[in-house]
Chains A and B, each alone.
Chain A
Amino acid sequence: MKNLYFILLLLPLLATAADADYTLIIKEHRFQPAELTIPAGQKIKLLIDNQDATAEEFESHPLNREKVIAGNSKATIYIGPLKAGSYPFFGEFNEATAKGVIIVK
């Protein structure tokens, strides 16, 4: 808990962090682009822009990430640094159509 207080103190610093390195758009329950290439060994800031009216959960077991993005809103996820390879992800709320992969080179 103590750690959390320290973390909260650091929050104002975050506001000045750099802009997103990569953007994924969710539209009609699909990711655009469905394939995203990022460099290996680097931490990446990923902006997910959900343009649908309903919420989506970005989920990836290989990336060890999960995050709910409300309808018509944006969210940030940090991933990596990763080894080269392909890391599939999906939208848990619309698994049939919302699929994609991050290629790390």
Chain B
Amino acid sequence: MFGTAIIVFREVLEAAIIIGIVAAATRDVPNRTAWLLAGLLFGLVGSGFVAASTDTLASLASGVGQEIFNAMVLGVAVLMLAWHNIWMASHGVELAAHAHSVGANIREGRSECSILLVVVGLAVLREGSETVLFLYGIAASEGGGIGGMLTGGVMGAIAGVVVGYTIYAGLLRVPMRWFFTATSALVLLLAAGMASTAAKFLVQADLLPSLASPLWDSSALLPENGIAGMLLHSLIGYDARPAGMQIVFYISVLISIGIGMKLSGKSRNKNQISGVI
């Protein structure tokens, strides 16, 4: 039962952290909660489908279909988070100011919501499908252990959700002045971490060279199966033994989104000034 709880916790944790950060970052977007729940539902239903087609997926592309699928899911999530951050850099402040006046910025809010739906859906999809396979395996092999499996699964899931919610609640306490900076920084690191994981899958599938395997080894200092390592892995993409290619992806995404945010933030300031004149 505890074994089940720990594995489910590990899978749920990553999705919960992503949802916690994204939910905080979009707190002023109209109808945000409904979209978030829709994303969650889409992810849960999708997990079932992905789990059921693991066979087919794996046999695609001579046995590396799963890596390609994971890398594509991560790639889409990175693009969405990049868009979110760049968009927020120019519209975030206005949105916060008009959030409660009916009709204001609804259309802009909607495009932001569809990003939310996709990011949450994909996060749940990726982690959820593994959980489904794992729980199905236990249910199939242990016969009578279904009660223990369910208890363990629910315990693990609750623990994961608690961590995600703590991050969410903590972010909401950040003073408004720093709120956009804090959430943008977290979303930026989240995106870079996902890009690094995508690179890892492509190296594993031999579609990209590893460049160095590993580039460094900090597993003695901060093991990634410990609590701190696990949290840092989900938050900022920490890897104790990354391939060189992962770092290339990580830094490229960090720099590209950073430049996008700078440019978009600048254009907003210019518009404001010309509006005043």
Residues of A participating in the B interface, judged by any CB pair closer than 8 Å: 1, 4, 7-8, 10-11, 14-15, 17, 29, 43, 45, 47, 53-57, 61-62, 64-65, 67-71, 73-78, 80-82, 92-96
Contact = CB atoms under 8 A, between A and B. Distances in A.
A25 to B, nearest CB: 15
Nearest to A53: B140
Contacts of B130: 57, 68
B63 A74 contact: yes
Interface residues of B, number: 46
The 5 A-B pairs with the shortest beta carbon distances in the complex, nearest first, are: A76-B63, A54-B137, A78-B206, A70-B54, A55-B133
A64 B62 contact: no
A14 B136 contact: no
B137 A93 contact: yes
Nearest to B224: A61
Interface stretch (B16-24, B67-75, B89-97, B183-191): B67-75
Given A68-B130, A70-B55, A78-B204, A61 B240 contact: yes
Interface centre among A7, A8, A65, A94 (most CB of B within 10 A): A7
Nearest to B205: A78
Nearest to A67: B66
Given A61-B225, A67-B66, A73-B59, 10 more contacts: A1-B75, A1-B76, A14-B62, A55-B133, A55-B134, A64-B239, A67-B67, A67-B204, A78-B204, A78-B205
A68 B54 CA distance: 8
A76 B71 contact: no
Interface centre among B59, B62, B72, B136 (most CB of A within 10 A): B62
A68 B66 CA distance: 8
Contact of B203 (A67, A78, A92): A78
Contacts of A8: 68
Interface in B186-241: 200, 202-208, 210, 213-214, 219, 223-225, 239-241
B161 interface: no
- Main SS of chain B's interface residues? helix
Contacts of A67: 66-67, 204
B205 A92 contact: no
B133 A80 contact: no
22 contacts: A1-B76, A1-B79, A4-B75, A14-B64, A14-B206, A17-B206, A56-B137, A61-B219, A64-B200, A65-B204, A70-B55, A71-B137, A73-B58, A76-B64, A76-B205, A77-B204, A78-B203, A78-B204, A78-B205, A80-B213, A94-B137, A95-B3
Contact of B241 (A1, A61, A70): A61
Interface centre among A8, A10, A43, A75 (most CB of B within 10 A): A75
A56 B133 CA distance: 8
A11 to B, nearest CB: 5
A22 B76 CA distance: 33
A44 to B, nearest CB: 10
A86 B137 CA distance: 29
Contact of B206 (A45, A54, A70): A45
Contacts of B210: 81
A65 B202 CA distance: 11
Contacts of B272: none
Contacts of A70: 54-55, 58, 133
B167 to A, nearest CB: 24
Contacts of B239: 64
